[in-house]
Amino acid sequence: MRLDLALIRGHPGLSRRKAQDVIEKGQVTVDGTTVFDKGRDVPDSATLVWDPNKKSIRRARISLPVLYEDDTVLVVDKPAGLLAVPTSPEATSEDTALARVQDYVRHLRPRKPYVGVVHRIDRDTSGALAFALSPAARPPMRELFREHRIERRYAALVQGDPRGERGRIDLPIHDAYEGGRRRVARPGEPSRPALTLWTVVERFAGGALLDVELLTGRQHQIRVHLAHVGTPIVGDPVYGRGRAGPEGPPAAPRQMLHARLLAFTHPLSGRPVRAESPLPADFQAAIAALRRLAGGRGGGGRPRRG
């Protein structure tokens, strides 16, 4: 049930508007954690406490959509084209997701404006990006990512015709980062294990929409793995192959890779967190273009699952 409705169930005298107002003021906790998202789903077993005497927390606006937020963890919806973190420690003037979150937290908590980086996604990859909002949350959040105890799912538009309906790519990534590229390691080369799972969601003429699960977190892993097996991501300027003739997908404004889901057990509260990012407009437009292309040839996309 939505948090505002669950609060009304426990306090029948509250109007919907009043319930949302006290949540946004920071007067409501869920299992001991202050939650500001009135639309957050809460289980029936959750303990909700409303303290009308608690001083209202001054809320600041963030320039990124928020997918999940509590006192210690924040997940934002990063648009394509925005850096997750600066390119170097000296690049303090760069517009990044980190800088925007830091600005938000400085207004929210001027005395303790802590923001900790826990993982990254590529500049031209859109979607869910998590930050720690307390020093206590950052080490266990980083540990979740290091130990691959976070469910990380991506939507990927690829060129080519995937073999089968699902696949497993278990190929180590070379340690070297050369000319802005990574590659699959050859036997004996220094490398780190990398494991990617993919499932076909829909097929098109010369391409497919995949659901990709990242089981390790190497830099450029999905892009390197999918290109290596012959299905590079549409619009990828580094690992892609451009438009592969008249049967290939239309040109795309950027690499069509979207971090659509982060799901994990909260490192401090122990509650499940599920942050989902909807497909952005450019991604939806690319899918629509592929469907029109298939329809114009007398075919059509072949959906495999919802």
Active site residues: 122
Amino acid identity, position 299 = G
H or E element at residue 167: strand 166-170
DSSP-based helix, strand, coil % in the chain, nearest 5: 20, 30, 50
In sequence order, the 6+-apart residues with CB closer than 8 A to the CB of 202 are 208, 209, 287, 301, 302, 303, 304
The Cα-based distances of 49 to 19, 29, 33, 55 in angstroms read 12, 5, 10, 14
Amino acid identity, position 131 = F
Q: For the chain, first and last CA: distance in Å?
A: 23
Per DSSP, 96 falls in state: B
Amino acid identity, position 94 = E
Per DSSP, 85 falls in state: S
User: Of 259, 209, 256, nearest to 235 (Cα)?
Assistant: 256
Q: Do the Cβ atoms of 153 and 212 come closer than 8 Å?
A: yes
User: Of 290, 38, 27, nearest to 158 (Cα)?
Assistant: 290
33: exposed, middle or buried (C-beta count within 10 Å: 0-12, 13-18, 19+)?
A: middle
Amino acid identity, position 81 = G
